[in-house]
Structure 1
Amino acid sequence: MRFNSIIIQPYLPEDRIDKKILKERLENIFKISVRWNQPVHTPETAFDRFRGQYLGSYFLRDLLKYREEKSILLGIVSRDIYEPGMNFVFGVASPHTKTAVISTYRLHNSFYGLPENSHLFMDRVTKEAVHEIGHVLGLSHCPDPECVMYFSNSLLDTDRKSFYFCSSCYEKVLSALGL
């Protein structure tokens, strides 16, 4: 399928994301336009009271309300998300619905008791966004620890990898985009 845009759908409350930087990085990597939608309320039905977290895959269904033909939709939520069997996830994606969501909750240094670093935060947001869009395009995890498609089991894994694809994964991305 040929995509002509990535639509970013922020959920309230919005995090301190530099929208211009993320837009430029995604356009540079994926070679398609990126557009920001107006923020929408976080669906409270996704909240699991027992866990105190939001079910990540719930957002994938919620995002379908905002999809446009030939677009990839990326949700950004500042809440903590999880998937069954996992303590937490940084993001989740579906190649079938062409939707993905990332959580910024655990990408802040302050979550770990460290001083905030806005540049490092934006690098982490970019890596998670690119990673989940890679899954939307059908890529699986990569064994190269520097490739953005490497599985991040912790923030250290995220910090170690690049926000670019290795050459093998990037060939798959370009093919999936029809480029």
Structure 2
Amino acid sequence: MILVVPIGDVDTRTVEAVSRFVGSYYSRLGLPARVSDPIPAEWFSDAYNPSRNQFIGRVFLETLGGIKAKTGARAVLGITSLDLYEKGLNFIFGLAHPGMGAAIISTFRLRPEFYGEETTGNLLIERAVKEAMHELGHIFGLGHCPNRWCVMHFSNSILDTDVKGPYYCTSCELKLKKNWG
């Protein structure tokens, strides 16, 4: 099972849509997805950097890895609306640790209004699905892909996220199945 964990005040519609998409894809490999009860953002107050007004992403992975161990899930995907970063980077859309089986994505910079775009339609959901599939790909052994339309292509900006699709390219799909054994 892939456990999707809402963290803090995150859009329920987005969480449910990500879980449905991930579940529909990974259920072919025997991994359904389900949404857990939300956990409070206050659990991650030690990750907050007041000089940046952001949260360091790796702290979330430790907690999510612990949830994975307790629940027996194959992977745990956290979704938060908090703004995340990592050392050496201005921000991150997401982060994964394959050894922990844990990943986190942030909707903060996926929201259309962050870029002055209209909030109509499903753009936030489309972006969140892509980032979720990308980070889960890392959990299951995939690296970054040079194919700009593959979901495993590195997103240096929201434009990269918008260009790529929500699926793995043929090459990444083959690697994923090989990794699955």
The bucket for the TM-score relative to the shorter chain is over 0.9
1:100-140 CA-partner distances (Å, limit 9, x unpaired): 00000001111111210341111100000000000111111
Matches within 5 A, 1:101-116: 101-116=104-119
How many percent of aligned residue pairs carry the same amino acid? 39
TM-score in terms of structure 1 length: 0.92
Name the CA distance, whole Å, in 2 between partners of 1:115 and 1:16: 19
Matches within 5 A, 1:15-94: 15-31=11-27, 32-42=31-41, 43-67=44-68, 68-94=71-97
Q: Which moved more, 1:76-85 or 1:42-51?
A: 42-51
Give structure 1 stretches of 5+ with no counterpart: none
Contact kept in structure 1, 2:16 and 2:35, CA below 8 Å: no
Give structure 2 stretches of 5+ with no counterpart: none
Runs of 4+ in 1 over 6 A off after TM superposition: none
Structure 2: which amino acid aligns with 1:97? M
TM-score in terms of structure 2 length: 0.91
Name the CA distance, whole Å, in 2 between partners of 1:58 and 1:19: 21
- Give the length in aligned residue pairs: 174
Name the CA distance, whole Å, in 2 between partners of 1:92 and 1:124: 15
Equivalent in the alignment of 1:10: 6
Structure 2: which amino acid aligns with 1:156? L
More helix as a share of residues: 2
Contact kept in structure 2, 1:14 and 1:39, CA below 8 Å: no
Greater length-normalized contact order (CA 8 Å, ≥ 6 residues apart): 1
Are residues 70 and 36 of structure 1, via their aligned partners in 2, closer, same or farther at CA, if it must alter by over 3 Å? closer
Contact kept in structure 2, 1:92 and 1:100, CA below 8 Å: yes
Contact kept in structure 1, 2:2 and 2:76, CA below 8 Å: yes
Contact kept in structure 2, 1:53 and 1:79, CA below 8 Å: yes
1:46-86 CA-partner distances (Å, limit 9, x unpaired): 10111110001110001123113252000001010000000
Please report the RMSD computed on the Cα atoms of aligned residues, expressed in angstroms: 1.3
